[in-house]
Amino acid sequence: MVSFTFFLGFAGAIVSVLGSSGSPQLSRRVLHEHRRSPPIGWTLHKRADPDATLPLSIALVQPNLHNLESYLLDIADPDSPNYGKHWTPAQIAETFRPSKESVDVVHSWLMSDGVDPARIELSDNGQYVRVNVSVSEAERLLATEYYVYQEDASSTNHLACGSGYHLPEHVSRHVDVVTPTIHLGRLTASVISSSQGSTRVHARDVRRTSQRMQPPPLSAKPQDSSGGCSTFVTLDCIRELYSFDYTVGGKGNIGVVELGSENYNGKDMDTFFKSYVPDLVGQRPKMISIDGGAENMGQTNGNLIGESNMDFMLVMGLLDNKVPVYQYQIGNNGWFDELLAAFDKQYCSDAGLTGDSSCGGTMITNVISVSYGSGEDEPSKFLVRTCNEIGKLSLGGTTFVVSSGDNGPTAIGGQCMGSDGTPVDGNGNFLPGWPVTCPYITAVGATQMQPGKSTSDPESASIYFGSGGGFSNVFPRPSWQDRMVSSYLSRSAPNYGANVYNRSGRGYPDVSANGAYTVIVSDGSISESGGTSAAAPIFASMIVAVNDARIAAGKSPVGWINPALYSSTFANVFNDITIGSAPGCGTNGFSAVPGWDPVTGLGTVNFKLLLSRFMALP
């Protein structure tokens, strides 16, 4: 046996003996992942109890991920002969299954570092090596220190590494991420059994993106859309704005994501339907509970029904409820991870859902609409891994539509970034949104009708709030966006300091739709809402209608649409938005200009043209 001592400066001496296939082998530990500070809203509380138990999950590197974008372009580029030929779940699982070598290397490392092989388990999909360890054991294996972090808002606790963790160099190459480690705010589930008690983890700062609007000074009746659309946006106004005149036949489906206690009020739905779509009175979305997400239709708290009421009134209303509308209700303060894990068992450990009933097997709809968002201030390996998972699910033919946020160039209102990458109050660098910066998501910004104008006049960027947009610090600008975004950068980009926004990042949003004065019913009365929260379900409904027509014609649903939207084939589909801006972080932010811009994307769509372009594709 050869022993080897390595100093990490903070944790003292770490003794590591590494061997595989009989021959002892040495490898120095390298920093595998780190973060600079706890994300916004979290404070370091105290050192973790060394005897607490951690379900350590070592996610192995997935082969072929570097080809993910080209696999996707092969089926999503409008010029590709394989357009629309989506993959089966089995094909996706096989293509990205980790190699036996990766499994063996991690196994030998754990054994040589003193973990009894009987305790080590390989997940049945081959994606994770799992072992239950004490905090002190984890600290030794990963050359790190664990602390308890507290979320300021909820006082919930979370175990996480102080700054970074280390792996032997030869192991590091085979490991994607280890959890729970640095990812605060990710649900790592029933993490702890110790004297600290149960510290169920709270989701990070995820905001719904709906806006409550002041009632307009209006004499128009809600039912009357003629002339009143600039201050009272009904379903008919939306149809007029986007030439969304389509009779849904009943093919395809859509899922709308709701979080925690946010839920629609059944009575409100009926009051809305009675006024605008009488045939739908009594109809409801189909509930799919994820990680304990519960139905709570009697809810009347305006803060908890506003988002969900609006989402379903828009989607069911615009589609006449002629296709199944599912409600993905995510419980336990969960967020995007839970959703992905519910679809893909291979992703479950990332979401801490091992063995949970919400792990894999949940039906995935053709279109998923999400009106919640957070910021990109999380470890980049985690963001990339989540985004790749979205890409893998997109290979199966799903379109992810997400609201771009309501705070202009920063994902979280009033919060910008300091030069060292940590959050600061007030002025600072822009904070891009999440998950909208993932290139496999279609990000939807918000527009608004100009005061007193009609549905045939051009809209402006939303005035009431700043439509979310900007450039990712994690995801580079994809090729399909290059032509449009480069043109914006060279002609119209504002000249702020070098690090205020990232000129090489993926630009968002991709498209936009109306997000102001949206007529809904809330707690019994007709009222108005809005936000990119309205824009996302409006756009998503149009994609559902496109799928309906394609499926009826014997074609596949559209799946990932971004390369098509930016292609020259779709050039005339958009109503370019050239008025308005989205200020923030002590700057004027970005402005809407001709062509793509980081406020309204390519613009709003003319549905008739959008449909004809997608119908012309194979």
Residues annotated as part of the active site:
307, 311, 533
Shortest Cβ 473–ligand NAG spacing (Å) = 4
Does 439 sit near ligand NAG (CB under 6 A)? no
Q: Which stretch binds ligand NAG (CB under 6 A): 147-155, 165-173, 240-248, 497-505?
A: 497-505
Report which of 146, 132, 141 is spatially closest to residue 184, judged by C-alpha positions.
146
Residues in region 109-128 near ligand NAG by CB under 6 A: 119, 121
Among 215, 476, 524, 586, binds ligand NAG (CB under 6 A): 476
Size of the site for ligand NAG (CB under 6 A): 13
Residue 595 known to bind ligand: yes
* Spatial separation of the C-alpha atoms in residues 153 and 43, rounded to whole Å: 10
Residue 358 and residue 355: Cα distance in Å, rounded? Answer: 8
**Please, which of residues 340-359 interact with ligand NAG by CB under 6 A?**
355
Here's the x/- map for ligand NAG, 22-61, by CB under 6 A: it reads as ---------------------------------x------
Query: Toward ligand NAG, which CB reaches closer, 333 or 481?
Result: 481
Q: How far is the CB of 124 from ligand NAG (least distance, A)?
A: 12
The SS3 of residue 45 is: strand
Of residues 312-331, those binding ligand NAG (CB under 6 A): none
DSSP string, 99-153: PHHHHHHHHHHHHHTT--GGG-EE-TTSSEEEEEEEHHHHHHHHT--EEEEEETT
Asked if 547 and 522 touch (Cβ cutoff 8 Å), the reply is no
Indicate whether 62 belongs to the interface with ligand NAG (CB under 6 A): no
Q: Which is nearer to ligand NAG, 60 or 131 (CB)?
A: 131
- Strands of the 53-60 sheet, one edge to the other: 121-122, 128-134, 53-60, 175-179
- Specify the residue, 130 or 555, whose C-beta has the smaller distance to ligand NAG: 130
Nearer to ligand NAG, 499 or 567 (CB): 499
Q: Does 211 bind ligand NAG (CB under 6 A)?
A: no
Amino acid in position 251: K
- Residues linked to residue 415 through DSSP beta bridges, in sequence order: 425
Stretch that binds ligand NAG, among 258-266, 403-411, 499-507, 591-599 (CB under 6 A): 499-507
* 3-state SS, residue 350: helix
The H or E element containing residue 613 is helix 607-616
CB nearer ligand NAG, residue 469 or residue 603:
469
Q: Of residues 95, 132, 163, 486, which one binds ligand NAG by CB under 6 A?
A: 132
Residue of minimal Cβ distance to ligand NAG: 476
- Given 492, 499, 578, 606, the residue binding ligand NAG (CB under 6 A): 499
Cα 62 from Cα 500, distance rounded (Å): 34
Smallest Cα–Cα separation from 65: which of 43, 40, 96? 96
Tokens of 439: 């290139």
What are the residue ranges of helices labelled H in 218-360? 235-241, 266-276, 302-318, 336-343
- For ligand NAG, the binding residue among 309, 473, 529, 562 (CB under 6 A) is 473
User: Does 268 count as an annotated binding residue?
Assistant: no
Binding-site member from 396, 439, 466, 505 for ligand NAG (CB under 6 A): 505
Q: Closest CB to ligand NAG among 119 and 173?
A: 119
SS3 158: strand
For residue 77, say whether it is annotated as part of any ligand binding site.
no
The structure tokens 């160099």 sit at: 169
What are 242's two structure tokens? Answer: 């986007």
**DSSP secondary structure, 364-383, as one string:** PPSEEEE-EEEES-S-HHHH
Q: Give min distance, CB of 39 to ligand NAG, in A.
A: 15
Closest to 343 measured CA to CA, from 286, 386, 403: 386
Q: Residue 37 or 132: which CB sits closer to ligand NAG?
A: 132
- Residue ranges in contact with ligand NAG by CB under 6 A: 55, 119, 121, 130-132, 355, 473, 476, 499, 502, 504-505
Numbered residues of the known binding site: 576-577, 595, 597
> Per the annotation, where are the binding residues for Ca(2+)?
576-577, 595, 597
